[in-house]
Structure 1
Amino acid sequence: MKFRFSILSLFCAFLFCFGSLAAQETSVMVRALAKDAKFIGSSIGGAKVIIRNAETGEILDLGLTSGSTGDTKLILQTPKERYDKLTDKNTAGFEAKLNIEEPTFINVEAHAPINKKQAKVVSSTQLWVIPGKDITGDGVVLEVPGFVVDILSPQTHERINASDELSLKANIIMMCGCPVTEGGVWDANQYEVKAIISAEDKESREITLNSTDKPSTFAANTSLEKGYYTITIYAFDPVTGNTGVDKTNIIIN
């Protein structure tokens, strides 16, 4: 009887130890890197990170990236060799904590920038995660392409007299919030910024917006006949392919 009890005790202890080893909390660092720019963090509201079990769809963890956009020189202006890091302890990221009992194939998504609905895109990848094998350092880096474009003028559903000049103005920034300026790291002269003005009964036309003295601000003036108009302002970088768009509607009396 004692022998049976001892065997049973050993078996239970084995199961307990095995279970505690298998169900280890596993850390995965996830970062969102704006294409041709820096990391998406606290200054623009962060990127929403969602990690799912790729087979079942179960959400294993989610949260927002937080921290700084990182070191401009390190990210953009320093030649990289194998294993060189792009980040430091202050660089924006989200450290996910996964409670997994076996090697798990996961989907990692970054929705960014989370607070700019017209600019938000989803970047994703897949990978295996092993219980207890943390993924740290730069971690999983998801590239987020595009520009954030905000139309500043005219305002949505604004009524403007046909006799008045129409002011077109937009704010253009990188997806990390980095500014666009003439001759800057993100050179305004490199980007094409245009307004497409359309109405149901009129032919569409394009107007070029030029950079102003204020960082990230592009502007132009025009005039319109009476009607209901949709104004689409876009930014395009012919070098990287980065593109951003915003739209508004106005009434010309």
Structure 2
Amino acid sequence: MPTFGLGTYQMDYDECVESVRTALRMGYRHIDTAEGYDNEDAVGDAVDEYGIGREDLFLATKIGPQNLDYDHVLTNADESLDRLGVEYVDLLYVHWPTGEYEATDTLEAFVELRQEGLVEEIGVSNFTVELLEEAIEVSEEPIFANQVEMHPLLPQTELRQFCAQDDVDVELVAYSPIARGDVADVDALRAVADKHDATPQQVSLAWLREKDVTAIPKATSEDHLRENWLSLGVELDDEDVEKIDAIEERRRLVDPDQAPWNQ
């Protein structure tokens, strides 16, 4: 999985096509979408128009909580593949462990999809340590990744430590990795940014990379796409990382009442 990608949440068709096409031209090779974003067709059209070889692109999508019983997973995965115009996806996520989600039933369908070659890897999203432990235990195939909100204001320390264990080895993927722009107002991030002639957003993305976390920032304009892409050239030292780790403010931006951490 490329350790940097493009998120496509809340993009309409035209915006999504243009964003994905521009990102691919810049060098992005990891595109993240979801059936709940209503833009899988736009992602598929942009990929097709750009003409990139399927083996050169890491494509991820998600099945929403209302479609997570066994039969719905199989049906909706097929529908996602049709909208994307591909024969398989590299990573298929359980979008939220709510609604129809039941670990054994849901993951049995995901395992079947992987064994049939329609899904390269199984992922989960918005899972706590406890839910991730359960998923790992019941799934007959490895859980490859857990996608969660993560940025310097929500460092997900417990989850990172759990996923890094040798007997767990689950990749973390960060959505909202620049806290929807809020990182620009954090003094510590601004100080590190000034030191590196970078932006706080780039520093946040570089910090995630130092934590071995894959970031998938959403961006629609060419300028923001490029700004995020150039974060790959920002190299933080130990002092920078310590300064960012010392930030005490905590802010969760995606926090619905039904989220597992609110139960």
Choose between structure 1 and 2: higher strand proportion.
1
| Normalised-by-shorter TM-score class | under 0.3
Greater Cα radius of gyration, structure 1 or 2: 1
